[in-house]
Structure 1
Amino acid sequence: MHPRRSAQEVLLCDLCETVPLQSHCKVCHINLCVNCVNKHLADSSKDHNVVSYVKHIKSTTSYPKCPKHAEKHCELYCEKCGIPFCSTCNSSGKHKGHKISDILEKSGSKTGDLQKDLKELETRIYPQYEKMASDVQTEKAELDTNYEKLTTATDQQGEIVHREVTAIVNQRKSDIAEMKNKHLAALNKNTDEITNRITELRQIIQDLKKILDTNDVSLTSTYKSRNSEFRTLPTKIRATLPSFSPQKINKDQLNEMFGYLSPLSFNTENGETMKSPEAVSSPPVKQLLDEPRLTATIDTGYPPFSVSCLDEEQVWTRGNTKFIKLLNLRSKLLKSIQTKSGNMPRDIALTRDRDLVYTDDRNKTVNLVKNKKIQTVITLQGWGPRNVCNTASDDLLLTMISDDYKQSKVVRYSDFTEKQTIQFDDQGRPLYSSGEHISENRNLDICVTDYGAGAVVVVNQSGKLRFRYTGHPSNTNESFNPVGITTDSHSHILTADYGCHRVHILDQNGQFLRYIHNCELFLPCGLCVDIRDNLFVANYDNTVKKIQYL
């Protein structure tokens, strides 16, 4: 309803917008009150034709024919049935006791709404659609340019790699030539030494033959043998030829060296809902408190490992028993559910309809509690379910581990049917070593605590790794033991650091913002936030702490 209208939808003057209208100018097509008629007629730039608004409506409005009485027109309108009807229908008593209006008055009361809708469509909604269409056309027009940049970058990288390979080949050739020259020089030196000894031997042989031919006693008596000297052969250089051992080219390593092309992904963005002109503006962004405040302590009766908010006053918890408990802020037990198998539940979550979901890692099932009945909705083979969360699209995200405890992955289920599996990064390396608690952020990132790796692993909606958080960089001497995880309305990521009795608050890009560590936390496990961003922390000391941190 327009803020200046009464409960009976009184139409107001188009000029002053404060006094009910009584007249209509057929020339200018505006509605006027008594006070504004004279002002309007004072404009002598055109000939005005001001008539009674009722006469104008009657003269421009045609009554609809009654579908039951062809000779009659519908002059009345039933507010309860929402239909026009004629006087004969009225006499039948069918609308007896209903609120009846004159159809012209009803039509008149709707005129303002029609004008307001038309104005919003023309000035606010339609331009947005035109802008969206223009943005898509701009993106299409820039497609060739953007992809040409990728092709150019690939060519440039190829030239760089080719130059590096050519440089390596030339260096190897240079090394081979240098080795060959050294080898040849060594052989030449060895040849010279052997040749010199051969020359000496020839001379000695000639000298001996002369002595034997002359029978000169003096030469014979002075002869000294050098045979022992020549029995030791000269040193012969034996070189080991260099060899080339080509390395087997690993395509994966070559790809990694060359650089990666990120995959083309399409994320469907839900259409933004425009606020009506009368809608109040959204509240300001909340800031982190300098000192978080403990506002409530709930005694659960067992060490709670998981917690899920039903609302601001009630939370579901699960611990080391077969019972899942619903408790209020005063620790009053409101409901208790025993698992279908009698096993201890592994984790709990709530659907969009606020129905309870729990995982059973012993019999490898996911179960839905609806109307006090438990239904097994997912049964796994070769994998065991761990933790679960509900998404903005009402899907289930499930962490699971293989039966041999060597692999871990995240699986998305839509209507309890497997829709997506997230297990490896772009290089084929496992994303998780032991995926534990899981939460979907407001920007649709999937956040998982990997207790075994001491990390929070965050991927986008398509499963591509965004970042890993391994604790505050300054605390290199402290281990990081992430267990529970949740996100709030500002896309903060909150994770429970089990061993250090605190909660880390990160922004959506993994930047550390602050700790929560002074609110009686003891071995915090599970986390959740309610619609007002109050944090609930499941502590090993049999309590759930409600904390205000914004």
Structure 2
Amino acid sequence: MHPKKKCKYQCKDCDNNFVCYSCTASEQHRGHIFVDVLEVYKIKKEVIAKDTEKLKNFITPKYEEIAVDLENRIANIDGGYEKLTTEISKQGKEWHREIDIVINKMKTEISETKVKHREILQKHLDEIKQIQLLINKTQLSIEEIKESSEVLPIMKYRSQIREFIKLPPKIIVTLPTIVPKPTDHEKLYSLFGQITPLSTATEENVLSLTSVRQLLDEPELVATMHTGYKEKIHSVTCQIEDSIWTSGGTKDIKCLSTKGSLLQKIQTKSGQWPNDIAVNSDGDLLYSDWSTGTVNKVKNGKIEELIRLKGWTPSQLYVTFTGDLLVTTFSYDKTESKVVRYLGSREKQTIQFDNEGKPLYSGNFYTKYITEKRNHDICVADCAAGVVVVVNQDGKLRWRYSGHPSATKNKPFSPHGITTDSQSRILTADSDNHCIHILDQNGQFLRYIDNCDLECPFGLCVDKNDNLFVCEYYIGDVKKIKYLK
């Protein structure tokens, strides 16, 4: 309408149309409310930045968790149905030969039910993956807009976060059960038992964005706990609120309050220092003993042998979100290293080689701390190789991180302790450079923690409130650091 005039405003009464200075004085816009385009632009930029953070650090990982859960449940279907088939076969052996026809008929019913079970979960997984693709596409689009300085795409941006906040209902499919009945030859089929029908239900799955927590501009040293170890404190793990377990170069394992007072002390059964400590889902203390090749559990003050390795030495421990125990180990000849997953004392999984058959971890006895992300990725800090190695739940390599170039960090990257927080960020201690690296869930460097006078940081852990606890190896102290808003 007004050539060569710049549209510096938007008219709120005219559907936010762009207007110039001449428009604001026209009869058409008399009494209307105008807003400065630059102010709206800044606000939109802030919304885009927040949406990017929410998609990247919270919504996307949550959908990854849902997909992993569904994939695991699908993978476990065969095991559950094999158990049902076994129970039917056991019941069938107690009957005469003439009831085999009935048994086969019921097995067929189970096979058909299993197909339905799989189809229900697979359909839901396909829907979730479609949403994930849409989220990834949206995120890429937002990233392009975020980096753009063009006004029009940014002004047209409409947030889609509300569409993704409402998570799909969780599909609950109950495994059929066998309901056996007393033997009666005349009513063979009906009395043999029945298979309960496939039960499907939904469970509300709520996503709250209030949990998204940003990094502090400057991490804060909250407290310094004097553990009583003169030096060589290498492990710390959170037990319950306001207490931690610590271990070092002595046979004593100490439980301290976050104010530094000694609450409990345990001595290893062998009298040697433990390689590492952890706390299981029941609240029992676990420790690895290099001298006996065992992982031990402390329950009610008594030490029980949980795992005994043959040909390998247990090193670092981590209890997963599902209650499994991850153990880093090295061979007696100190040429190989691997990660072993245990359920109780039973070995479930070994992680040692990549898809090309090459070792994932350096083959020596040097410390390899271990942790798990919320999506069940396994993270290992391999100090000898100067790298953090991340594999998925199946042991497939996802990525490696070998440090971040810095003019002030002059020594080679030497990762020791490693932990993750509620935002799936990874924190690893760079002992030789006296700092801690913070990475995002995909291994991208975010920042250092290097302002808390850290001296050779070693073992790390994060409590449920995302407070970071850091062992100072040669000093014997544990520092509590706040790094999230």
Structure 1 residue 331: Cα displacement: 1.4
The TM-score, its normalising length taken from structure 2, stands at: 0.57
What secondary structure, in the 3-state scheme, does the structure 2 residue paired with 1:290 have? strand
- Choose from 353, 365, 386 the match for 1:424: 353
Alpha-carbon distance in structure 1 between the residues aligned to 2:286 and 2:171: 29
Is contact 2:411–2:432 with CA below 8 Å preserved after alignment?
no
Q: In the superposition, relative to structure 1, how do residues 532 and 274 fare at CA in structure 2: closer, same or farther (>3 Å)?
A: farther
1:381 aligns with 2:315: no
Q: 2:288 aligns with which of 347, 355, 359?
A: 359
Q: Give the CA deviation at 1:494.
A: 0.4
Structure 1 residues 519, 378: CA separation in 2 closer, same or farther (over 3 Å shift)?
Answer: same
Partner amino acid, structure 2, of 1:356: L
d(CA) in 2 for partners of 1:361, 1:382 = 12
2:478 is the alignment partner of 1:544: yes
1:464 paired residue number: 396
Alignment of 1:65-214 (within 5 A): 134-135=123-124
Which position in structure 1 is the counterpart of 2:382? 450
Following superposition, the deviation at residue 478 of structure 1 comes to 3.1
Relative distance call for 1:319 and 1:132 in structure 2 (3 A) is same
Write the letter of the residue equivalent to 1:307: V
Which residue of structure 2 aligns with residue 293 of structure 1? Answer: 220
Deviation at 1:311, TM superposition (A): 2.5
Instruction: Indicate the residue corresponding to 1:514 in structure 2.
Output: 447
1:27 alignment partner in structure 2: none
Gaps of 5+ in 2: 1-117, 130-169, 173-201
Offset of 1:135 from its aligned partner? 4.0
Pairing 1:513-532 to 2, within 5 Å after superposition:
513-532=446-465
The superposition leaves residues 148-198 of structure 1 with CA deviations (integer Å, 9 ceiling, x where unpaired) of xxxxxxxxxxxxxxxxxxxxxxxxxxxxxxxxxxxxxxxxxxxxxxxxxxx
Q: 2: distance between equivalents of 1:542 and 1:136?
A: 49
Is the Cα–Cα contact under 8 Å of residues 396 and 416 in structure 1 kept in the other structure?
A: no
SS of aligned partner of 1:499: helix
Higher relative contact order (CA 8 A, sep 6+): 2
Deviations 1:211-241 (CA, angstroms, capped at 9, x unpaired): xxxxxxxxxxxxxxxxxxxxxxxxxxxxxxx
Q: Which protein is bigger by CA-based radius of gyration?
A: 1
Q: Decide whether aligned partners of structure 1 residues 313 and 425 sit closer, same or farther in structure 2, where only a CA change above 3 A counts.
A: same
Q: Which residue of 2 is the match for residue 322 of structure 1? A: 251
Taking the aligned partners of 1:419 and 1:348, their CA distance within structure 2 comes to: 20
Secondary structure at 1:362's aligned position in 2? coil
> Which one of the candidate residues 389, 412, 421 is aligned to 1:488?
421
Distance 1:489 1:349, change over 3 A: same
Which residue in the other structure is 2:112 paired with? Answer: none
User: Percent of aligned pairs with the same residue?
Assistant: 56
Q: Distance in 2 between matches of 1:134 and 1:349?
A: 39
In the aligned structure 1, how far is the partner of 2:258 from the partner of 2:127? 54
Query: 2:164 corresponds to which residue?
Result: none
Matches within 5 A, 1:393-412: 393-412=322-341
Give distance in 2, aligned partners of 1:406 and 1:376.
Answer: 26
The 1:453/1:271 distance shift into structure 2, 3 A limit, reads farther
Aligned-residue offset at 1:130: 11
Q: TM-score, normalised by structure 1?
A: 0.50
1:137–1:487 CA distance, 2 compared to 1 (3 A): closer
Report how far residue 466 of structure 1 moved: 0.7
Which amino acid is 2:468 matched to? L
Residue identity matched to 2:432: G
Q: What's the C-alpha RMSD, in Å, of the aligned pairs?
A: 2.6
- 1:133/1:363 CA distance change after superposition, 3 Å: closer
Q: For residues 238-257 of structure 1, what are the structure 2 equivalents within 5 Å?
A: none
Aligned residues of 2:121 and 2:171 also touching (Cα < 8 A):
no
Aligned residues: 292
Structure 1 residue 512 displacement after superposition: 0.3
Return the offset for 1:474.
4.5
Distance apart, 1:309 and its partner CA? 0.7
Specify which of 498, 507, 515 is matched with residue 431 of structure 2: 498
Instruction: Give the letter aligned to residue 291 of structure 2.
Output: R
CA deviation after TM superposition for structure 1 residue 520, in Å: 2.2
Question: Structure 1: how far apart are the matches of 2:433 and 2:171?
Answer: 42
- Does the Cα contact within 8 Å between 1:345 and 1:360 map onto a contact in 2? yes
1:348–1:359 CA contact under 8 A, matched in 2: yes
User: Partners of 2:126 and 2:323 in 1: how far apart?
Assistant: 32
Q: Hey, what's the Cα distance between the residues in 2 that align with 1:518 and 1:271? A: 47
Whole-angstrom distance in 2 between the partners of 1:394 and 1:282: 26
Equivalent position SS for 1:430:
coil
Give secondary structure in 2 for the equivalent of 1:472.
coil
The offset of 1:452, in angstroms, is 0.9
